[in-house]
Amino acid sequence: EPEVTQTPSHQVTQMGQEVILRCVPISNHLYFYWYRQILGQKVEFLVSFYNNEISEKSEIFDDQFSVERPDGSNFTLKIRSTKLEDSAMYFCASSGDSMGDPYQPQHFGDGTRLSIL
Amino acid sequence: DQQVKQNSPSLSVQEGRISILNCDYTNSMFDYFLWYKKYPAEGPTFLISISSIKDKNEDGRFTVFLNKSAKHLSLHIVPSQPGDSAVYFCAASETGTASKLTFGTGTRLQVTL
């Protein structure tokens, strides 16, 4: 069964450094998402991406965050200058093939654990 | 912002019995509801979903019920198996596939022998 893959599984970075989290969504999906889960808290939406542009973002997704789909397969989340509070699990998800069913589930990767020191 | 609530943080059920996990929501714009299962160190795995035009959807051992007037949904697992032990998240979106998911806080299900 097709799956969403994320790399790396764990990233340790010094505060103030830039990080790039990488995702390969399911190949025929059209909608891409990033979520995060801070330890002990619920999964929170960060950003959605469709047709090569951001379609929605949360208040968490401020100017230090950016997303990109540099080629036909990868979807990346960049955090420009990391803070301690950015430490979390970051999940990539994708959904929606071209068959037109408006109710298709999002499928998630196994996440990248980001630890900011 | 608690638009999706799972009021039971944990549930313990004997193998072979029915597990019932509950979820309440406050946003009347939600029209698509999903259940995910999560093991430690893995991402959420999609289990079953229901759109607002239905009140029941069944897939094998899993059934989701939606009560729109009460803004309540539930996941029934029958019979429960030890491999079902995981954290279960309820999630909802406003416009189906293309919309962000709002998650509940999760219910940890323990299926005992």
3-state DSSP of A42-67: CCEEEEEEECCEEEEECCCCCCCEEE
Report residue A49's pLDDT band, with 50, 70 and 90 as the boundaries.
very high
pLDDT, position A98: 66
Residue A2 has pLDDT above 80, yes or no: no
Rounded to the nearest 10 degrees, how much is the dihedral formed by the CA atoms of A44, A46, A48, A54? 160
| pLDDT per residue as tens digits for the range A29-45 | 999 999 999 998 999 99
Q: A63 to chain B, minimum CA–CA distance in Å?
A: 20
Backbone angles phi, psi at B83, to 5 degrees: -65, -10
* Pick from B46, B18, B17: nearest CA to B32: B46
Q: B90 to chain A, minimum CA–CA distance in Å?
A: 11
What mean pLDDT is predicted for residues A67-79?
92
Cβ pair B95:A44 closer than 8 A = no
Those residues of chain B whose CB sits closer than 8 Å to some CB in chain A are 32, 34, 36, 41-46, 49, 51, 89, 91, 95-106
pLDDT, position B88: 98
Q: What is the mean pLDDT of chain B?
A: 95
Cβ pair B44:A108 closer than 8 A = yes
Q: Under DSSP, is residue B42 helix (H, G, I), strand (E, B) or coil? A: coil
